[in-house]
Amino acid sequence: MVLTLLTLLIAAPCLFVYGENMITCYGNVQRLTCGTGLVMVKSTIYGRTDRTTCSTGLPLSQVANTDCTSKIFTIAERCNGLKECEVKTDLLGNPDPCFGTYKYYNTTYDCIDGQNTVICEQGYSTLDCGGGLIQIINANFGRANSVTCVNGLPNGLIQNTNCYASKTFTTVAAMCNGKNKCTLEASKAIFTDPCYGTSKYLTVSYKCTPTIWEIVTCEGNTAVLTCGDRHLKIISANYGRTDSTTCSTGLPIQISNTNCYTTDTLYKVAARCDGKTSCDVPATNGFFSDPCVGTYKYLKMVYSCV
């Protein structure tokens, strides 16, 4: 008998692939790139913290101030969710934290698991996570380079590569987060026109978070796990008792032991169910052994459909 079946959205961090660090002297192009995964900026510091970085040919007066730092978010806003990103630093327009000092940008970022799609202006695309749920990483409507969505366009429509619609991310997140599917249109009617006379496109990066199920089955019954046309992935499992309320009706004496665990529950359930579209698991001592004789137990499992 199944007592509870809950759907939970896991708001876990994106899957970490590897980390990088990039230092770029002011006025040059900062290029962030991920061979595997998508860029996720952890922090960007604009200023100077030593006398040697970006100091070639400069007088001492321009590198002497090493207590000059300003945390900025512009590079994260423009680069998060892209496989590679180039930003001309003198176009960022950040406030000067120390006049007279030559500064640089120090960006630390991770490469994280995710998907990226590009929609040319007036085009449509559907984000589809199947049985999972969409979580938007970043989005921009505008133009950040002169090579994307340029087929047949005159140069005059693609020269402005510093074009960003400020509310793209919040708009796309409101439209798509928590849904299985979401159809987007790259339209200035939706995102406004951040650069009149420039041909724009919509870039969206996102990840699919699995739908997580929790199932509890009282001792002596059989749990049935099903994923339709997807496959089971067991996340956690225990046969025993960890509280005095679950599966407790009419059993005041047999529920006092709440430190009851079967150490190989996860292994046995995963071996029986992982990769299948459906699976039944008996909540019995015969299948799991008896971790606490005299205590009425239950089987609690958490799984996803992948």
In tens, the pLDDT along 262-276 reads: 989 999 999 999 999
Q: Are residues 250 and 200 in the same domain?
A: no
Among 89, 112, 135, the domain boundary falls at 112
On the question of pLDDT at 160 being above 50, the answer is yes
Instruction: Answer with the one of 209, 243, 260 that is the final residue of a domain.
Output: 209
- From 13-27, 28-42, 254-268, the region with the lowest mean pLDDT: 13-27
Same domain, 123 and 108: no
Distance CA 154, CA 159 (A): 9
* Domain-terminating residue out of 209, 235, 257: 209
Fill in the DSSP letter of residue 231: -
Domain count, the chain: 3
Cα–Cα distance for residue pair 159/275, rounded to 1 Å: 50
Q: Is 5 a member of any domain?
A: no
| Residue 85 in domain | yes
Do 106 and 125 lie in one domain? The reply is: no
Q: Is residue 7 part of a domain?
A: no
pLDDT value for 17: 55
| Two tokens, residue 276 | 């299948």
Q: In terms of Cα–Cα distance, which of 169, 48, 32 is closest to 99?
A: 48
If one counts every other C-beta atom within 10 angstroms of the C-beta of residue 99, the result is: 7
pLDDT at 18: 58
Does the predicted TM-score (pTM) go above 0.95?
A: no
Please determine, for residue 302, whether its predicted confidence score (pLDDT) is greater than 80. Answer: yes
Residue 156 lies in a domain: yes
- Residue 274 belongs to a domain: yes
Joined tokens for residue 216? 């509890």
In 173-260, DSSP assigns E strands to 181-185, 201-209, 211-218, 222-226, 232-240
**Residues 120 and 99 occupy one common structural domain:** no
DSSP state of 253: S
Do residues 32 and 79 lie in contact, with contact meaning Cβ atoms separated by under 8 Å? Answer: yes
**Residue ranges making up the domain that contains 256:** 211-305
CATH code assigned at 107: 2.60.120.740
Mean of all residue pLDDT scores within the chain: 89
